[in-house]
Amino acid sequence: MRWRNWDGRIRCQPAVYAAPRSEHELRRIMRQWSSEGRRVRVAGSGHSFTPLVESADALLWLGRLSGLHSVDAAAGTVTVWAGTTLRRLGRLLAAQGLAQENLGDIDAQSIAGAIATGTHGTGAALPPLAAQVQGLTLITAAGECMDIDAQRDPDLLDAARVSLGALGVISRVRLQVMPAYRLHLRVRRGTLEECLERGDDYADQHRHFEFYWFPWSPVTQLKFTDVTGAAAQPRPWWNRAADEVLENGVFYVASEVCRRVPRWSPALSRLAARTVATGEAVDASARIFATARRVRFHEMEYALPRAELAPALREIRRRIERAGYQVHFPLECRYSAADTAWLSPAAGRDSAYIAVHMYRGMPFEAYFRDLEAVLRAHGGRPHWGKWHTPDPALYAAQYAHWHDFLRTRARLDPDNRMLNPWLRRELGDA
């Protein structure tokens, strides 16, 4: 079996591979692999840009553990199997008249992978997705089953909600959900200076606000999204088709041109900025949140204290122009409320996120490392599933519960069965 991630950069060929169809089978596999001394990693949808899943030994895929396990209407919770993709979960919840409070703009991830890496959407009053977790079932490296609950053991849940898959294998997740609702999305063009000066106000005035800045251009695309009682008004199919052609077809061709002739990247970034989509729509929340991403890329993202967003972006603009980086992909900026999960990038502070992209196949590491230095200088913490340089000494200074997490990890996995070489670098002396 050969495995690779979404952008194709991380690949591995595990010695053994399993795709359990039940929790009982999952426990049996883990007990067997433990007796054989194997080191185990777990694959979701492969949407991480770091070698979190990479394994030369044992690899689990949870795609067959998918769907709703149970619904508790009185408590407003659902229990979902860990391999369920966010896209499928949205449809399953809609059939029950329910929805998640918030989502990111990509719904290809499995629910367990999304929470384990600190995935988030945007919304100044809304924490990352892991905050929706009220409990989960963890299968340890030894095959033991642990039901972790917010009421019985809130500290252990705060360790397990964003765990990088280093504590064990999540088999089920209990989520707080809400009655289904519709969102009104408005998209318009703006300028980077407008976003730097008024972004905080926009974030506080709207349930969701985000913007995209196109390097080598002053232009931004702004997205404002709010709950509405209005009837659904999806964009006409011809507008959606035009956006699909423009954002995926035409942008793919432009990206291929940039890959072959990198010096054209600034000009094509400016052209993309002038043709960016605008408009509005009213639809079910899950359909408004998600965006089709067919043009593949490499990505780095950092969570900063909100006050650091504007100064960090100004420095990033200076560095791009000074170094002459050949980049045509926009930078994406979003917001979130503070989280209590120990390793959440938003742990203990309201945050703003800057995501940096480069088209797949184009050199990106020098660009990412230069901008990473800026993001870290402004107090940034990496999104665990996106490209970054491991630095456990920095994490120990940034996260109040860093050493608590390492102690919990050592207790649940004393033989380090859940670690691969990447996680050993990430966690340091685990």
Note whether 306 and 335 are within 8 A (CB): yes
Asked whether the predicted pLDDT for residue 237 surpasses 70, the reply is: no
Note whether 266 and 321 are within 8 A (CB): no
Asked whether the predicted pLDDT for residue 193 surpasses 90, the reply is: yes
Looking at residue 410, what is its pLDDT? Answer: 96
Looking at residue 41, what is its pLDDT? Answer: 98
Q: Of all residues in the chain, what percent carry a pLDDT higher than 70?
A: 97
- For residues 151-159, average pLDDT: 96
Three-class SS of 239-279: HHHHHHHHHHHHHHHHHHHHHHCHHHHHHHHHHHHHCCCCE
pLDDT bracket for residue 142 (50, 70, 90): very high
- For residues 407-416, average pLDDT: 97
Asked whether the predicted pLDDT for residue 245 surpasses 80, the reply is: no
Output the average pLDDT for the chain.
95
335: three-class secondary structure by DSSP? strand
Spatial distance between the Cα atoms of 292 and 147, rounded to a whole number of angstroms:
35
Asked whether the predicted pLDDT for residue 8 surpasses 80, the reply is: yes
- For residues 229-251, average pLDDT: 77
Asked whether the predicted pLDDT for residue 412 surpasses 60, the reply is: yes
Asked whether the predicted pLDDT for residue 430 surpasses 60, the reply is: no
- Concatenating the DSSP letter of every residue in 88-136 gives HHHHHHHHTTEE-S---S---SBHHHHHHTT----BTT---GGGGEEEE
Asked whether the predicted pLDDT for residue 291 surpasses 90, the reply is: no
Looking at residue 276, what is its pLDDT? Answer: 87
**What pLDDT digit, counting tens, does each position of 197-214 carry?**
999 999 999 999 999 999
pLDDT bracket for residue 82 (50, 70, 90): very high
Spatial distance between the Cα atoms of 389 and 9, rounded to a whole number of angstroms:
16
**What pLDDT digit, counting tens, does each position of 36-66 carry?**
999 999 999 999 999 999 999 999 999 999 9
Contacts with 232 (C-beta within 8 Å, 6 or more apart), sequence order: 182, 282, 283, 284
- Concatenating the DSSP letter of every residue in 10-74 gives -EE--SEEE--SSHHHHHHHHHHHHHTT--EEEESSS--SSTTS--SSEEEE-TTS-SEEEEETT
H-helix segments, 283-417: 285-289, 309-323, 365-377, 392-398, 402-412
pLDDT bracket for residue 242 (50, 70, 90): low
Asked whether the predicted pLDDT for residue 135 surpasses 90, the reply is: yes
Looking at residue 429, what is its pLDDT? Answer: 66
Spatial distance between the Cα atoms of 225 and 335, rounded to a whole number of angstroms:
13
Asked whether the predicted pLDDT for residue 238 surpasses 70, the reply is: no
